[in-house]
Copies of this chain bind each other. A is one copy, B any other.
Amino acid sequence: MPRVGLTPDQVVDHALALIDDQGTEALTLASVAARAGVATPSLYKHVSGGLTELRRLIAVRVTEELADRLAEAAVGRSGDDAVTALLRAYQAYATAHPHRYAALPQAPQPDEDLTKAATRLVGVIIAVLRGYGLDGPEVIHAARTVRSLAHGFAALSITGAFQLTEDLTTTHNRLITTLITGLHSWPKSEEQ
Contacts and interface: CB of A to CB of B under 8 A. Distances in A.
A3 to B, nearest CB: 35
A110 interface: yes
Nearest to A185: B181
* This protein's copies in its complex: 2
Interface of A: 102, 105, 109-110, 115, 118-119, 137-138, 140-142, 144-145, 147-153, 155-156, 159-164, 166, 170-171, 174-175, 177-179, 181-183, 185-187
Contact of A171 (B115, B144, B174, B179): B144
A123 to B, nearest CB: 12
A70 to B, nearest CB: 15
A155 to B, nearest CB: 6
A163 B118 CA distance: 9
Contacts of A183: 178
In order of increasing CB-CB distance, the 6 nearest A-B pairs are A152-B152, A178-B182, A148-B152, A148-B153, A151-B152, A140-B166
Contacts of A156: 144, 147-148, 151
